[in-house]
Structure 1
Amino acid sequence: MFASFATTPITPFVGADVEGLDLGLRPLNQTQIDDVLRALSMFGVLRFRRQKLDIALLKRLGRQFGELHIHTGISGMAEHPEVTKIYSDENSRHVNGELWHSDLSCDEVPPLGSILHMMEVPTDGGGDTAFSSSYTAYERLSEPMKRYLEGLTATHDGGVAFSRFDPDRTYPRAVHPVVTHHPISGRKVLYVNRAFTSHINDIPPEEGAALLRFLCDHSERPEWSMRFRWEEDTVAFWDNRCVQHLAIWDYFPQRRLGYRVQIAGDRKPA
């Protein structure tokens, strides 16, 4: 299926393990880059085990797929503003991403994808990340619902997700179609999420609120979701254009440490 590596699906609808590709040994060639992007558009999230990366190599890896996206809701590292440190321990009061979301859908041009290198994992097996297929969520809607959603838009507001951490900060807002198209696969995507989508436009508020609740519940169904099990030096690369994800904080007070970069998108969702 791919010239550069082998893939094994994790579930029928989302996720694949990748074997035969070292992400840090040397820069990827164009065939490898194209294969990764094509696999990403098919499986939504790719898992690469046994990857030795430092922050410089993580940034190099990300830049091979596009410019790095500066997070608009959470501050990056002082010396590496493109890199977000993912860390929690016995002193943490929360972790980011505890609601289902597509990363920074509140941005006018959201990030294409996100790459997370996990360096330290809880010893008891906790700390999974859940992913769901927004392709399948759309495809499993009834035909009348699909027709109804065509042409509707929704507002995505960063304040919904981040204002509890810093209420004085101004966060981005954007309007996107409820149904989008993936630019590589061409498949349709249900593009609303619980963390960022504040309301459906174009219809009365009461109808919009009920519709949004249904669409979020539908997107999060276990039938088209998976739990991504982390190990030390595992890398996840997920496609924000066709999956949502959720951080599962079931490991308090243990430590979990990783570093993430996000690849800038090159177009608005459409």
Structure 2
Amino acid sequence: MSAHREMPVPAWVAPARALAHRPPVVPRVPFAVAGQSVGSVAPGLMEGLALDRGAGRADVAAALVKESHAGSERWHLACAPADATHALAALADALRRAGRCGAWRDEQLAVCNAAGDRIGTVERGAVRALGIATRAVHLVACAPDGRQWMQQRAFDKPSHPGRWDTLMGGMVSAQDTVESALARETWEEAGLRTGALQDLSHGGHVDFARPSDEGEGVGYMVERIDWFRATVPEGLVPANQDGEVERFELLEAADVQARLALGAFTPEAALVLAGFYGW
């Protein structure tokens, strides 16, 4: 499968990469859980939030405090390390009740400290508001003749509805490794088993750090996307299983690149495909 590395870099690529790495519009306040730095929050986000401990676990002692740390202020969800997940559940519920988080997914994502050690998990809808780093996977899939399978996202998706995407793109949940997320999301979105694909390999990664409009504009996206490439064998056709895909199309590379130039793809898929083409 050729990545077409001899092709000139299109004009849209540099601006797209610049948009993927932007500082917050307003400086954010560091956010810690159980003494560990895990993210950041917009000024004013935490003021007035009331934690309902029953939303996490009633016997968990947790307090949301603004404190001095290392010469500056930070918000601290103070709790015992063993109680971090339950305290985060109470905080996520408070953000939802205040209308300050993204779409609620009933999906837990890992919460890690600066060293990458997991300290707990949190509802996916709260991660952007809290500036917590996330992981995702994408799959760039070709037919044996070199054409590429692309999906159009469902029109009721909470983010980028109706935009074009790689064959599969999804989050790495708290229960996943990158490899298990790849397998799970490939089945859920495309109805394909990774074991049936040919020449499956890791292609690279794309990093994002930029403002997010989740939670009425108070979010910040910090994410690493690991992308993979594979060939879908002759006779296999993607079929969505979870209702999140409007349709699939098998496109010539020139058609994909024309849609990229028009901004028809999600920002994440666009940069994954830029990496695939060697741009």
Q: Is the radius of gyration larger for structure 1 or structure 2?
A: 2
Report the TM-score, using the length of structure 2 for normalisation. Answer: 0.26
Which protein has greater RCO, CA pairs closer than 8 Å, 6+ apart? Answer: 1
Which structure features the higher share of strand residues?
2
Report the TM-score, using the length of structure 1 for normalisation. Answer: 0.27
